[in-house]
A and B are shown apart, each in its own frame.
Chain A
């Protein structure tokens, strides 16, 4: 049973555009929602994370939007650049207990 559902599976965005990746979770007890970025041949690395006490968190061009009532959260990449081309994973878990449940991943390609 997939507790964290991620979409789309792949995404192509033109340079300068906005990339949006969505995730939905089932377990209302989750209180930590990170996004990981993975480049080919590398391990995933933490990009940005949010706790459910806020509805939005922004770090540079990356923003997480969180909707607790809908049990959904999304990653927005503003002014997308070719260097953003990577696979993105959303995840959910319990803060301080890092056994995360990951989404299935989104392969993002930014074209010139």
Chain B
């Protein structure tokens, strides 16, 4: 079982370019999330989706968009990348069953915007 798969693992991007980070899960979890991790700031929620067809804004949504066309995929798009979006991005999922509250994370996508 792969769990959460993120792609690309690492990317260098010119400012102003469009970029989509891919996230796929094989656990049939209802909910999916995108976090960004920055030194000294911890993990901050960008967007989330409680179920296919619905999305919501997290703590730092500006400059990012998401879609949830099906249960397994939750891509994150930067329409016009800026240097402040240089970060490590983590996709996560959970069952939302109320039993454990556990988030399962992917291994991250390191994005550098020049």
Contact = CB atoms under 8 A, between A and B. Distances in A.
B101 interface: yes
Interface in A66-112: 89, 93, 95-105
A73 B16 CA distance: 42
Interface in B38-92: 40-45, 48, 58-59, 90, 92
Interface string B1-25: 0001000000000000000000000
A105 B101 contact: no
Contacts of A103: 42
A89 B43 contact: yes
Interface residues of chain A: helix, strand, loop or mixed (majority): strand
A54 interface: no
Given A41-B107, A42-B107, A98 B101 contact: yes
Contact of A98 (B4, B33, B42): B33
A43 interface: yes
A100 B33 CA distance: 10
A99 B58 contact: yes
20 contacts: A9-B40, A34-B102, A41-B107, A42-B107, A42-B108, A43-B105, A44-B103, A46-B102, A96-B98, A96-B101, A98-B33, A98-B96, A98-B101, A99-B33, A99-B48, A100-B45, A101-B59, A102-B35, A104-B41, A104-B42
